[in-house]
Amino acid sequence: MSQSAEEPKSLLRRLLRRPDDLPQPPEPTAAPASEPAVSASPVRPSPPESGTPPAPILPNVRSTQSAPAAQSAATLQERLRAELALEKLRQKTARVSAEFASGKINRAQFLALYAHYNEKRIIIERLLERNPDTQAWQSVANSGQTSFLRAHFASRVLSYAIYFHDSTQPLIAEGQPFLPEDIAFKILMAIRIVRRTHQTLSAQRKQVDENHWAVFIPAEFTTAIVMFWLEPSTRQIVLVQDLHQDFERANRTLLTRSVRTAEHYVFPHRALFEETL
């Protein structure tokens, strides 16, 4: 066998015996896992590193809307309070009307109280009409003079006198002033005439002058005449009528005997000066 024919075999044997001597192909370089491969460009800059984007800036809704909303709510509450005050004044005028109708107060008290409440109502309504946001109505609604008006215009007893039906001289007369004699005489004569056909007469009132009123109460044996400062209320008239009926009831025996001495009688009318009317 020639050397040329064996040369490949001997070369093969050598290669088999020395595998480490074989040339190895270069291993490919792996790209970093965390960074994607981006081709460099001289014109386009590299993109910024990815991260958490900042939170968007929102408008301050509370600062721009809370103040007007709160102001609107306060204005509404104030208007509701004003309307409530007006409703209370309406109720008070209705109550005064009912008091007058039931005889609890006299005409002067009614006119003074009703005018007072009605004036306050008109002022508040005008204030709100000019400026719905005003608070000036509060001082008007809170001002109180009703106790003064009730006391100032209240009627009170000044005097009383009791007459037998057949006499123009009083059995008793207490207080000051009394009804003038000429007016008392006319009233007593009129009652004497009416009693001829009417056994029972109701109490009557008569204005004497600007400030004085007289109430006369005919009963079975006597007539009582009571003088008042200002016009008495219906309740006051009923009171003096009840007192005079109690007088005749308590002194019936003396009245039947026509006793004309006041010291023997009891007079419930004296309670009129102790009673707050």
Q: Tens of pLDDT along the chain (277 residues)? A: 555 555 555 655 665 555 555 555 555 555 455 444 444 445 555 555 555 655 555 555 454 555 565 556 666 777 778 788 788 888 888 999 999 999 899 888 999 898 888 888 888 778 777 777 666 667 677 766 788 888 888 999 999 999 999 999 999 999 999 999 999 999 999 998 888 887 678 888 999 998 999 999 999 999 999 999 999 999 999 999 999 999 999 999 999 999 999 999 999 998 887 654 4
In this prediction, residue 16 carries a pLDDT of: 56
Structural contact between residues 217 and 224, judged by C-beta atoms closer than 8 angstroms = yes
- The alpha helices in the chain, defined as continuous H runs, are 3-17, 61-101, 107-130, 137-142, 146-152, 181-194, 234-250, 252-256
Structural contact between residues 267 and 172, judged by C-beta atoms closer than 8 angstroms = yes
Structural contact between residues 260 and 171, judged by C-beta atoms closer than 8 angstroms = yes
Grouping H, G, I as helix, E, B as strand and the rest as coil, residue 263 is helix
In this prediction, residue 83 carries a pLDDT of: 81
Between CA 269 and CA 163 the distance in angstroms is 13
State the DSSP H helix or E strand holding residue 233, giving kind and residue range, or none if neither: none
Between CA 158 and CA 132 the distance in angstroms is 50
Q: Of the candidates 237, 249, 242, 241, which has an alpha carbon nearest to the alpha carbon of residue 277?
A: 237
Q: pTM of the full predicted structure?
A: 0.62
In this prediction, residue 85 carries a pLDDT of: 79
Cβ neighbours of 35 (radius 10 Å): 8
In this prediction, residue 120 carries a pLDDT of: 84
In this prediction, residue 219 carries a pLDDT of: 93
In this prediction, residue 152 carries a pLDDT of: 86
In this prediction, residue 195 carries a pLDDT of: 85
